[in-house]
Amino acid sequence: MVPKSVELLAMGVLNGTPFVAQGTLDVDANAGKKSGTITYQSLPVTLDVGIASITTMTGRCFVGAKHLGKRPFVGPLELLGREFVSLRVSTVGGYGAVSVAERAHYEGTSLHCDLSTVGELRSRAATGAGPLREVITVSGPDTLTAKGRYSHRTARGRSVPIRYVHFYRSLKPDRRLFRRLQGRKFLLRVKFSSKVSGRKLVHRTQSTIRLITDP
């Protein structure tokens, strides 16, 4: 049940300033790639890769990730099903914190994700992001818990660490499947090659996921 595209609508308040962004990411599950353009109708601050990565990345890093290891593969996307909600809280070095709430559902072959963001972030502008490492655990009868890290790179070459926790809850869970996979852990790795042009974020990722523990 891998979507062919992800439709994003992100809105919220960052550093006291409202913003809205939307766009589409095409999914190539065979290669583990997602690519597309996110357009900001209003800007939270001067747009850079760091701001854009935090406000648009939530909930979709494992979508379309290339599976490593044995087949068939039942991973986070299959567990969450056709409708889920999530909450991600990120801390950005000593520069602030951002939370992103998400509601996601399928329409045909597209996954629609509505994001609500709030936070304060006073870090220097980032010119790049990544790589990301995340461990996802099947932690309840309808719940996944993830902990991850990546970094922002500034124009002066400095690396700013990002740490986050992310909770997912399926709204239409297969409880038998959740029980069978209780305690299972997955390792997700993501590389970014995103860039900002004016009000647009050209977003590209390549990701892999694999099982690291059996239930």
| CATH number for 144 | 2.40.155.10
- Contacts of residue 95, defined as CB under 8 A and 6 or more positions apart, other chains included, come to 121, 122, 123, 160
Contact (Cβ atoms closer than 8 angstroms) between residue 215 and residue 180: yes
Sort 1 into a burial class: Cβ within 10 Å, 0-12 / 13-18 / 19+: exposed
Neighbours of 121 (CB within 10 A): 19
Q: Is the pLDDT of residue 116 over 90?
A: yes
Share above pLDDT 70 across residues of the chain, in percent, rounded to a whole number: 98
Q: Is the pLDDT of residue 214 over 80?
A: no
Q: Which of 95-99, 122-126, 155-159, 179-183 has the lowest mean pLDDT?
A: 122-126
The residue that leads in pLDDT, 82 or 55, is 82
Band (58; pLDDT cuts 50, 70, 90): low
Query: Token pair of 99, please?
Result: 């939370």
Which tens digit of pLDDT belongs to each residue from 129-161?
A: 889 999 999 999 999 999 999 998 888 888 899
- List the domain range (segments joined by +) for residue 62: 5-213
Q: Please state the pTM of the whole predicted model.
A: 0.93
Band (125; pLDDT cuts 50, 70, 90): confident
Domain count, the chain: 1
Which tens digit of pLDDT belongs to each residue from 162-205?
A: 999 999 999 999 999 999 999 999 999 999 888 888 888 898 89
Q: Is the pLDDT of residue 96 over 80?
A: yes
